[in-house]
Amino acid sequence: MPSIIKARMFAIPVVVIAAIGTAGTLHAATIPATPPGSQISGTGAGGTGIGFVFATTAPGNDNSILGSPNLISLNWAFTAIGPIDFVFTPDNAGDTGPSNTTEYLFNNVEVHNMTGLTWTGFQFQLGSTDDTGVFHPGSTLVDFDTPGNDPSPTSSIGFSSFSHLDKTLAFLGGSVVPSSTVFVSFSIDVPDSLDSPFTLRATPAATPAPEPASLLMLGLGLAGGGAWRRYLRGALD
Ligand SMILES: [Ca+2]
Ligand SMILES: [Ca+2]
Ligand SMILES: [Ca+2]
């Protein structure tokens, strides 16, 4: 066979794949809704979580300024200071909408403090989890609705420090007392054609434990008080 014909036979499938690549497979990636009667769950050293993903009614709605109608509801029950992870797997096959990023609103996510400790706050991170269960922060194309940042994330209690980055959302400088629940809302962007899993991690920030030096001072103070009481008793006898 002349080499020119061989080259053409090779070229035709390449052209077909290229056409599908630009027109047929680029869709707004969406997160499949939780099947009726079931729920998604979160796990980790911090406790457990449950939640629901509702049907994506507005695929490809990036730069949603009002809250996105694509809703995810989550409930995090922290029994220890440690992370709880939810893993989501977007699907880019079922959408016929425009090729664009899809925004999701985590609406009034519930963060329960059942750790017995007062927290200064908590943070959320986006990343991925590898086959051995190790979390890699930042290792995903999903972001916390940046650069638009609107609507701004909200919380049911006040925090003096709030940080909104691509892959990290931190609420700090507050007081989350034991047995309380904080309601938080924020958005994420799931980019075009993403079909690999991503992880949303939440971790409480506990009030720092007293330093050994201050414990020593406290111990000396108590011992000093005991000596003073003994002195007073002696003086009165
Ligand atoms: Ca966005
Ligand atoms: Ca974005
Ligand atoms: Ca937005």
C-alpha triplet 194, 107, 197: angle, nearest 5°? 20
Q: Tell me how long the chain is.
A: 237
Separation of 188 CA from ligand 2 center, angstroms?
7
Q: Pick the more confident residue, 80 or 66.
A: 80
DSSP string, 144-180: SSTTT--SPPEESS--SEEEE-SSEEEEESS-B-TT-
- Contact call for residues 123 and 207 (beta carbons, < 8 A): no
Assigned token pair, 10: 């090779």
pLDDT at 16 over 50: no
Task: Please give the span between the terminal C-alpha atoms of the chain, in angstroms, as a whole number.
Answer: 120
pLDDT at site 8 = 45
Separation of 104 CA from ligand 3 center, angstroms?
9
Judging by beta carbons within 10 Å of its beta carbon (0-12, 13-18, 19+), is residue 114 exposed, middle or buried?
Answer: middle
Separation of 21 CA from ligand 3 center, angstroms?
28
pLDDT at site 179 = 98
Identify the band that residue 95 occupies on the pLDDT scale cut at 50, 70 and 90.
low
Separation of 204 CA from ligand 2 center, angstroms?
25
Assigned token pair, 230: 């003994």
pLDDT at 17 over 80: no
Residue 115 three-state SS: coil
- Contact call for residues 202 and 184 (beta carbons, < 8 A): no
Separation of 138 CA from ligand 2 center, angstroms?
13
Render pLDDT for 31-54 as a digit per residue (tens, 0 to 9): 999 999 999 999 999 999 999 999
Separation of 216 CA from ligand 1 center, angstroms?
51
pLDDT at site 83 = 98
Separation of 177 CA from ligand 1 center, angstroms?
33
CA distances to 26, 61, 72, 94, 197 from 21, in Å: 7, 22, 30, 16, 21
Average pLDDT over residues 81-107: 86
Identify the band that residue 218 occupies on the pLDDT scale cut at 50, 70 and 90.
low
Separation of 143 CA from ligand 3 center, angstroms?
11
Separation of 164 CA from ligand 1 center, angstroms?
13
